[in-house]
Structure 1
């Protein structure tokens, strides 16, 4: 087996680092209030429901424009929409590297913006949308001219999506949608929302759930409020759909097969979240080691104490094991249909998300009082990554996926 990072990826990482230093770092320094101890306080429009400030959104948009012009933003996308058809393995290595650099405009945590874009919804449209939908949406989603949100979770149903209560019934040559979505991500300035609703089939079964592309200005769509969360600003809305009518052409993919789109979204996101969690966690470990080596207490470096050494050595070992698991899972995702390797993606995701929280907490502890302040990045890293142990399938759900694959091997 060859564990060497492919030469083309390692070379490309060097190109990305140079781009960050020449194009992105100067832009970040001009807007440092969004990245120093003020962070989310400057990013959040507190008097407008906790939504992201327009200035913050525009800064992220400028970063993306520069990355797109340089040929980086679309790296993972297919060649026919301007990408380089980057592999899942390559994307995992790159996302880990960018997160390992620490906080910055090059790879922001709060809304997952990066110079190498993660476009799971674009990938879904590219795979299953109608020719008309592709023409209308794909390029505009990449450039930001259209913002497409994603509504699966409901007040009474999260990971148990097959029990969703939102329904759509046929009427007047189209569909009438009724229901409520919670944690409807991306709604702060969305132009459209991909809404999942049951159109047929039995409760608890995946068949019969349909994905609809709904313009947010459609009568009956009510963005009730944004949920204020552990990590602000909020882009997670409570949205009511009351007799929202859309035509047949609003269906994404096929009637009754919407959850296939959701599963593809989750697998694309989970492996990249795992890579980012690994990189951010390794950053926390490295920063804690640097601090322990230079911090002198009782006349000697803090790092001479085994109480400091051993937890960090354990975490560093965990990072090394995770690195192999994340890369191997990403490689598997490149070789097979995503549903065939769901257990690999689940293992990588839940372990990496748990690791980064432990690493951020340990870095705070090693830094002492300073680690608890907002002048250090650890609280921000912890707050951001803690949500991944819940969102897009809780870690308990993902462990269940792993257990299902494990135990079916030994059934009679």
Structure 2
């Protein structure tokens, strides 16, 4: 059993570091762009007088970073080679996301809005695996070229994790469909061209079948942004929308009619393991910064680091980070050893373990970093409050930690999974 990272992965990390140093850090430093990362970051990013949406200058800067990363051959790393990618594996993506997050805040990787010089592109893979040839030929190049921006309409005001009870309805109307309902947290609506709109097209509440994924024009007059929800970490791009009398053609369904939840779940495992890796890296950053500060700060004539009350909590966090990192990498490697449908059957519980624990651990590490740093740690002149507020959301999104623990428990006790026990 070999625990060393492959040499070509180490070489690629060095290549990414060189690219960040040559292209991204200088851009971060010019034109006072550092305002998006120093103590002014929340204000610099947020247009408070425009519903709390991201400022235009912030999003333009992120687009420029993505353009440079794409030109250098990094942005599409995780995509298949036919789309300009490098067939990036789950292990490589987990290691890269961990590495980026452990570097702290910066233009290279800012997950507050899912930005990274190596992107995820889940919608591209959805069109690849579920779209018709016509849909794939239109939308995949359109997304990669920036002509299309597609947001995700699954959660509703009265339904989140209980997606099978969604109230948005699609009714056959002539040679197409009429959709009515409402959605929550349709992230990115302010710049979206389309929505992946999930609606019940048949069956009854609670049925997994009968929900379809429709491609809806985000500018359709029947689609209305009712309000943008201001969140723990601003800016916001998370609205509640209403959908009224929206007509779409029959070929607007992505995937098989009535099988929309398979589309919705398509990328969940890859995203959860990558998010776990990011949280692990961010936790590591918080601990390492705390160690440095504890060695430098000398109250009462001796370093903070001499106090066991400072040492022991950081030791516990460092130990958990190391164990978690090994589990994430093992699980990501295992994901790469099997076809995607088998991941759900064989590894879903381990992925949930990694994800819920990493997100919780990151929040604990950020909180401890604030405590070690004292007053300056609580201020926005240090990044810990930002890290805490951002990663706190991941204990709710991508499947709340309670939902993920429920998954682990179901597999552990034989209620579901490969060792499911017969009822009775």
| TM value normalised by structure 2 | 0.95
1:105 aligned partner? 107
8 Å CA contact 2:226–2:242 kept in 1: the answer is yes
Post-superposition offset of 1:357: 0.2
Where in structure 2 are the equivalents of 1:231-310 lying within 5 Å? 231-310=233-312
Give structure 2 stretches of 5+ with no counterpart. none
Quote the Cα distance in structure 2 between the aligned partners of 1:127 and 1:313: 44
8 Å CA contact 1:103–1:109 kept in 2: the answer is no
381, 386, 404: which one aligns with 1:375: 381
Quote the Cα distance in structure 2 between the aligned partners of 1:378 and 1:143: 35
Where in structure 2 are the equivalents of 1:85-164 lying within 5 Å? 85-164=87-166
368, 379, 387: which one aligns with 2:393: 387
RMSD: 1.1
1:14 aligned partner? 14
Quote the Cα distance in structure 2 between the aligned partners of 1:142 and 1:37: 33
Post-superposition offset of 1:7: 1.3
Post-superposition offset of 1:9: 1.0
Post-superposition offset of 1:142: 2.3
Alignment pair present for 1:402 and 2:408: yes
Post-superposition offset of 1:139: 2.0
1:321-357 deviation line (CA, Å, top 9, x unaligned): 1101111221222233232222121111000000000
Quote the Cα distance in structure 1 between the aligned partners of 2:239 and 2:267: 19
Q: Which runs of 4+ in 1 moved over 4 A?
A: none
1:50 aligned partner? 52
8 Å CA contact 1:162–1:205 kept in 2: the answer is yes
1:28 aligned partner? 28
Where in structure 2 are the equivalents of 1:210-225 lying within 5 Å? 210-225=212-227
Give structure 1 stretches of 5+ with no counterpart. none
Post-superposition offset of 1:309: 0.4
1:55-88 deviation line (CA, Å, top 9, x unaligned): 1111000000000000000000001111000101
Quote the Cα distance in structure 1 between the aligned partners of 2:219 and 2:163: 25
8 Å CA contact 2:411–2:420 kept in 1: the answer is no
2:421 aligned partner? 411
1:85-119 deviation line (CA, Å, top 9, x unaligned): 01011100000001111000000121021011111
Alignment pair present for 1:362 and 2:391: no
8 Å CA contact 1:65–1:143 kept in 2: the answer is no
Quote the Cα distance in structure 1 between the aligned partners of 2:182 and 2:420: 41
1:112-162 deviation line (CA, Å, top 9, x unaligned): 210111111211111111111111111221232211000110111111111
Quote the Cα distance in structure 1 between the aligned partners of 2:254 and 2:371: 48
Quote the Cα distance in structure 2 between the aligned partners of 1:312 and 1:90: 28
